[in-house]
Amino acid sequence: MGGRRSWFYWKYHIVLSILSVQWKGMNCQESVPGFKIEAPAGVRVQRGLCVHIPCSFTVGPGFTLTRDAIGIWYKGYNGFQSRIIAASTDSSQFPDTTNGRFIFTGKVSAGDCSFSISDAQPGDADRYQFRLEGPLKYNYVGTQPSVSVTELKEPDISPTKDLIAGEEVTLTCTAPTNCPGLSPTFTWEGSVNTERTQSHTLQHQDRNFSYWSNITFTPSPRDHNTILSCTFTYKHGSAKANITLNVEYTPLLNITIPGGTGESSSLIVREGDSKEIYCTVDSNPTANISWTRGNSPVGNTKQKGQNLTLSLQNVTENDTAVYTCTAQNQRGSNSRSVSVSVEYPPRQPTICVDKPEGCLPLVNDSVPEGSTLSLNCRAESNPPAIISWIQNDPLNTFSENSILNVQVTNDIVYTCQATNRYGLSNSSILIIVTPVQKSQTVFLIVGLCILFFTLAVIAAVLVFIWMRKKNNVQEDTKEMPKSDGDVIYNDVENIQSINNVSYMNTEKTKRDKDYSNLYEEVC
């Protein structure tokens, strides 16, 4: 059977060669009116994919296309000596030299000479010539479509814009072909999460196909400017497309200092030194950057790209503050702060006396003898100073404490000394002792003693006078004695009265002496 097919093939070509010689000079359409062909002058097909070449033809007046008409496509433009690549008839009549890649798709009896190429190879690039065989034979040489084979195009990834950090997005990778029966696979690669993917195939009414794959992910700032790739793989090849992700996000800030090992939130500077603080911003789109101290902008800055440097020159204690770097773009704003502490030696200490109403200065530096004082020493410094007290005459150093409790009995000088790692400072106070004045209570007691003594004397005198008057009255009213007994009785009463007076005088003298002794004891 194979030998018979080969014999037929060579016999057919011999006949075609003879006919070609017979038709020499008639290979122009214009030479035979009505024999025309319409086909694209050139087509492009990607390597490994397919292409359909539409074609139609007509025959001249008086000629008819029958069902027996055969359409043949030859590769090359050397007439019938070219290789047959597709025929409209049963393939058993012609050898298949393309493994079924070239297919005659048109209906010759209807004037359709279309054909298609699948799994295109670089060797398919050439001119192609159509010939009509059967009862009517004609070689259409007026139009010979040219086929070009190109490399496989990259798949298309869309959209590539409007990626916002934190917002979910879906991208689509579309295969660069509509050839049927490919069954391609898609592979996504990149820094984003590539687990949520889904492939799709859609057949259209014209029997063409569309192939695509979706990937859904949530981009982050670290995905900005990274590569996302989609690889389209089918039986005969593959193609890969890359895109650079453009992710928009709010600014990210980092505050550093020269010589630091990372982000800094605090900075210690010695008084008189100079320092620079760097604020580095990562943002998309570009951010506006500023330094502020509290709510006030800071002017001593310099910017280079997305870095804004704060310069602190010849710092003083007044430069101690919290400095804030703020960056803002269309996606939002962000800020970072650094606390700057300026360290300096102790300033001159101030000494005051702790009292209920507060720490007050010692007025005239003088106090009553024996007074107890609570001396308080304060000194501005950073870091805080160590306070110590020194007493002169006799010389004595007290423990480190800002408060010193003392009882003064004589004039004395106390010195407060403040020390930190940058230096020391001191301040002294002279305390003058004044003599103790007698208390008003003593004078009151003395006055009461005198008053009591005076009242006692007056009372004694009044009692004495009263007694004398009483005795005188009794003598004036005394009756004369009526008998010797009465005389004796009266004499006895007189004696008794004299004794009573003498006793009263004695008691009075004793009382006066007791009052005098009491006065001396009290006063």
Please give the pLDDT value at position 478: 53
Please give the pLDDT value at position 156: 95
| C-beta of residue 28 within 8 angstroms of C-beta of residue 37 | no
DSSP codes of every residue in 424-467 = EEEEEEEEEEEPPPPPHHHHHHHHHHHHHHHHHHHHHHHHHHHH
Please give the pLDDT value at position 380: 93
Mean pLDDT of the region 356-381: 83
Please give the pLDDT value at position 286: 94
User: How would you classify the pairing of strands 423-434 and 412-420?
Assistant: antiparallel
pLDDT at position 346 over 70 = yes
Please give the pLDDT value at position 261: 73
| C-beta of residue 234 within 8 angstroms of C-beta of residue 48 | yes
Give the Cβ contact number of residue 165 at 10 Å.
Answer: 17
Please give the pLDDT value at position 262: 75
Q: Which amino acid type is present at position 417?
A: Q
Q: What is the dihedral of CA 280, 282, 288, 289, to 10 degrees?
A: -20
Give the Cβ contact number of residue 272 at 10 Å.
Answer: 10
- Picking from 441, 439, 452, the residue whose alpha carbon sits closest to that of residue 519 is 452
pLDDT at position 24 over 70 = no
Residue with more model confidence, 496 or 255: 255
What's the CA gap between 241 and 171, in Å, rounded?
13
Mean pLDDT of the region 410-431: 91
Which pLDDT tens digit goes with each residue over 437-473?
Answer: 655 666 677 778 888 888 888 988 888 888 888 777 6
- Picking from 401, 516, 362, 371, the residue whose alpha carbon sits closest to that of residue 449 is 516
pLDDT at position 295 over 70 = yes
Q: Cα(first)–Cα(last) distance of the chain, in Å? A: 166
pLDDT at position 312 over 70 = yes
What's the CA gap between 380 and 347, in Å, rounded?
5
Helices (H), 231-334: none
What are the helix and strand counts (H, E) for the chain?
3, 37
Q: Is 381 buried (19+), middle (13-18) or exposed (0-12) by CB count in 10 A?
A: buried
What's the CA gap between 491 and 450, in Å, rounded?
45
Q: What is the DSSP letter of 328?
A: E
Instruction: Estimate to the nearest angstrom the gap between the alpha carbon of 18 and the chain centroid.
Output: 88
Label residue 9 by pLDDT band (50, 70, 90): very low
Give the Cβ contact number of residue 35 at 10 Å.
Answer: 21
Please give the pLDDT value at position 487: 41
DSSP codes of every residue in 43-72 = EEEETTS-EEE--EEE--TT----TT-EEE
User: The dihedral of CA 81, 83, 88, 93: what is its sign?
Assistant: positive
Please give the pLDDT value at position 6: 38
Please give the pLDDT value at position 237: 83
Please give the pLDDT value at position 395: 80
Q: Retrieve residue 292's tokens.
A: 């502020």
Q: Retrieve residue 62's tokens.
A: 């008086």
Helix axes 484-522, 440-476, angle to 10 degrees: 170
- Cα angle 353-359-360, degrees, rounded to a multiple of 5: 70
Q: Retrieve residue 252's tokens.
A: 């990210």
Task: Using a cut of 0.85, tell me whether the model's pTM lies above it.
Answer: no
Which pLDDT tens digit goes with each residue over 119-141?
Answer: 899 999 999 999 999 889 999 98
- Cα Rg for the chain, rounded, in angstroms? 65
Residue in the block written with tokens 């024996």: 370
| C-beta of residue 51 within 8 angstroms of C-beta of residue 101 | no
Please give the pLDDT value at position 397: 81
% of residues, the chain, pLDDT over 70: 80
Which pLDDT tens digit goes with each residue over 43-89?
Answer: 999 998 999 999 999 999 989 999 889 999 999 866 555 688 999 98
pLDDT at position 168 over 70 = yes
What's the CA gap between 523 and 402, in Å, rounded?
47
Please give the pLDDT value at position 392: 82
Which pLDDT tens digit goes with each residue over 474-499?
Answer: 665 555 444 444 443 444 444 444 44
Q: Retrieve residue 238's tokens.
A: 């593959």
pLDDT at position 92 over 90 = no
Q: Which residues pair with 414 in a beta bridge?
A: 391, 429
